[in-house]
Amino acid sequence: MEVGKSIVRVDAFDKVTGRTKYTDDLCDASAYVAKILHSTIAHGRVLSIDTGEAEKIEGVVKVVTCFDLGEYKNYFPTAGHPWSTDVSHQDVADRLVLTDEVKFYGDDIAAVIAENEVAASQALRAIKVEYEEYPVVTDVLEAMKDGAPQIHKDYPNNILKHTSISRGNYAEAIKEEGLTVVDRWYNTEPVQHCHIENFICYAYAEGKRITVVASTQIPHIARRVVGQALGIPWGDVRVIKPYIGGGFGNKQDILYEPLCAFLSLKVGGHLVKLDCSREETFVANRTRHGIKFHIISHVRKDGTYAARKIEMFSNQGAYASHGHSIAAKGLGAFPQLYPCDNVEGDAYTVFTNRPVAGAMRGYGIPQAMFAVESHTEDVAKIMGIAPIDFRLKNLMPQGYKDGFSKNENYYDTFRQCIEKGKAYMDYDNRLKELSNQTGRIRTGIGMAAFWYNTAVWPISLESSSSRLVLNQDGSVTLQLGETEIGQGADTAFSQMAAEILGISTDEVHIVSNQDTDITPFGTGAYASRQTYIGGFSIAKTAGLLKEKILDYAYILTNMPPAITDIKNSMIIRTTDNRELISLRDLATEALYSLSDSRHITAESTAQIKSNAYSFGCCFAEVEVDIDMCKAKVKKIINVHDCGKLINPALAKAQVEGGMSMGIGYALSEIQLVDKKTGKVLNDNLLDYKLSTCMDHPHLETAFVENPEPTSPFGTKSLGEPPTCPVAPAIRNAVMQATGVGVNELPMRPEKLYEYFNKAGLLK
């Protein structure tokens, strides 16, 4: 059995010894260096760009401006979503490789191509730009008002999209007698992904085709978008994805692949490298959406919900990117986590003159869980019901089935996860110990539950293709379009293939680097989809390969496939487990036989029309220094039901990484933007307070392994869920310690000061 074992990652040795080749390692030294000129206003129009002085600098090859697009002035979408022939399911095409219509401070208006980085940097400083400036709006609610600056002409009141949900009859339900009404606002702010490797790509032409090598999560999608941006057949584009140093959703967007390809074509197809600085990554890549929430709950005396309502206002920034899908997912979570007969909800995604918001680990659910689980805690407190008892009374019950996704909750998962979390924290005893605290230093324990989907069906296409080749020595080579981005996917995929084929994982040679000319189609790494979706195609393809192997074994052993199998790399007779021939000997004979030579391979596509719930919770013990307005996490655990664990050690690592991101989201991280100018004020790792190991206690993980019935390996999402419940659990711990519910993230000292002062805690 290979599935369920904590084997060492297949890429571990190369990564720890530095042998792994990333994009920058692969780029030839002959490459020209490209640098982007970003706008120094947040809203307006470029009137002119003077490149004369820049072009005189030694080493400058070419300066290209927004006025030089010519045949390449094609609007394209940037979201890393599967394409659809249905126009209504296509992403908003609102980007150009360079633009004269500035919509945020840092927009791309020109680029320099030079022989070296020094010349490129000097040329950027020598370019002179004349602008026509327009008013700036950065707040989501202000942007929706009549008379606010209009950012995109086709979107009145800057509303990219508005969707609603309605169940039952909210208006009638709230007339029920004896209801307690809890009405609160909650707010989350944009944060950045902060992956180790900044976005980087290089491009060159061969014949009529353009090749782009990029640090991307979505090579096949990038191929299509580059084709759209350049106005050329998609088959004329080749995208190669080497190992990448993290993405967390930022690289689930088309960032600069089209621009790099365009610049290469502007210099005759010469090799051009575009490497984002950390400052550019903060400003000109993507951020997590800041979302404001308004939640109203009408609660019966017994602690059940009579009616609930939510409004969400998602700050999209300057361009559509992933757009409304983030807010829509958060809205969809609201009636499912705590089902109620009478629900109303509205979600608005709104353009502002801020850096563009896109996909980030959790895809709207970290924001939604902060609001929903903070509100849940507030309701429980007002009703005088213990927080966990209140949750268990209202959480999605076993047997619940969603009418849209068709997802079903097959187990009493929430209770199982919560019980594990309680046991680790010694929750009941610690609550008694911490009751009636006074003084400056106080400790609280909070918890939060969460809900998550796996993959994107039925919103978008879900399919995965894979290829398996039997090598001469009986090992196999595996290729698939789903991508390794640092999370350990290649190891899980290898274990899956080995499990079906009856061989050991070290006999599976997975090709980690995707090449759209060679790699079977797959949409990439996002939506916590890979082990679930990739598992279908691996199971199907491995089954086909196994069938071909056993067919050939029939020729060599006279034993029909009906009574043979592969076990421990041996062809065995299942009736008595006799070993007939080794897979190594069979593979060698198959390739070199003078009578029946065969190249034994298999390739298939699996389209998946199912989805799966992933559940869990977080418990956090937090120490609060009231006078210093500081909160510190002392003890924390995440408990997850992500189905059957393919590799428990990798699963644990995934959860620990997500918890780390959640701690930073809760307590320190925020993208600060000047409201008057739209300029990002902390575009570096010194001023952006990223959570580090010094800010963490021991990170504990636990799992409830309830196999997912719709999955060939019983698995479901885990990549993104660990980030989702951490911030509300910490917030609820602060409230339990101090009595003060902080309804805004991050809970930095200045924010705690504001709330503590208002509550009268500060002298």
Using a cut of 0.95, tell me whether the model's pTM lies above it.
Answer: yes
- Determine the Cα–Cα distance for residues 73 and 68; give it in Å rounded to an integer: 9
- Determine the Cα–Cα distance for residues 309 and 293; give it in Å rounded to an integer: 10
Query: 544's torsion region: left (phi>0), alpha (psi -120 to 50) or beta?
Result: alpha
DSSP 134-167: ------HHHHTSTTSPPSSTTSGGGEEEEEEEEE
Q: In the CATH hierarchy, which fold is given to the domain comprising 463-607?
A: Aldehyde Oxidoreductase; domain 4 (3.30.365)
Task: Spell out, as residue ranges, where the chain has pLDDT lower than 50.
Answer: none
Q: For residue 92, what is the DSSP state?
A: P
DSSP 195-256: -SSPPEEEEEEETTEEEEEE--S-HHHHHHHHHHHHTS-GGGEEEEE-B-S--TTGGGB--S
User: What are the φ and ψ backbone dihedral angles of 564, each rounded to 5 degrees?
Assistant: -125, 160
User: What are the φ and ψ backbone dihedral angles of 251, each rounded to 5 degrees?
Assistant: -90, 15
CA atoms within 13 A on the CB side of 254: 35
Query: 170's torsion region: left (phi>0), alpha (psi -120 to 50) or beta?
Result: alpha
Closest to 356 (Cα-Cα) out of 318, 314, 315: 318
CA atoms within 13 A on the CB side of 10: 23
Enumerate long-range contacts of 153-157, CB under 8 Å, 24 or more apart: 155/351, 157/350
Q: For residue 22, what is the DSSP state?
A: B
DSSP 609-673: ----EEEEEEEEEEEEETTTTEEEEEEEEEEEE-BS-S-HHHHHHHHHHHHHHHHHHHHT----B
- Determine the Cα–Cα distance for residues 282 and 96; give it in Å rounded to an integer: 20
Q: In this structure, what token pair is assigned to residue 540?
A: 């199907």
Which pLDDT value is given to residue 1?
86
| Domain over 13-134+199-275 is classified CATH 3.90.1150.10 | no
Q: For the stretch 168-182, what's the b/e string if a residue is b when 16 or more beta carbons lie within 10 angstroms of its beta carbon? A: eebeebbeeeebeeb
Which pLDDT value is given to residue 436?
87
- Determine the Cα–Cα distance for residues 76 and 255; give it in Å rounded to an integer: 12
Closest to 359 (Cα-Cα) out of 225, 488, 509, 195: 195
User: What are the φ and ψ backbone dihedral angles of 162, each rounded to 5 degrees?
Assistant: -135, 125
- Determine the Cα–Cα distance for residues 531 and 404; give it in Å rounded to an integer: 23
Domain ranges of the chain: 13-134+199-275, 365-450+613-758, 463-607
Secondary structure, 3-state, 341-356: CCEEEEEEEEECCCCC
Q: What is the CATH number that goes with domain 365-450+613-758?
A: 3.30.365.10
User: What are the φ and ψ backbone dihedral angles of 117, each rounded to 5 degrees?
Assistant: -70, -35
User: If you search the block for the tokens 């399919």, which residue do you land on?
Assistant: 463
- Determine the Cα–Cα distance for residues 412 and 390; give it in Å rounded to an integer: 16
Compute, in degrees rounded to 10, the torsion defined by CA atoms 529, 534, 540, 546: -150
Which pLDDT value is given to residue 222?
98
CA atoms within 13 A on the CB side of 23: 28
- What is the CB neighbour count within 10 angstroms for residue 59? 15
Specify whether the CB–CB gap between 600 and 552 falls below 8 A.
Answer: yes
Q: Do domains 13-134+199-275 and 365-450+613-758 have the same CATH topology?
A: no
DSSP 507-531: GEEE--SEETTTSPPB--S-TT-HH
CA dihedral for 316, 318, 322, 323, sign (positive or negative): positive
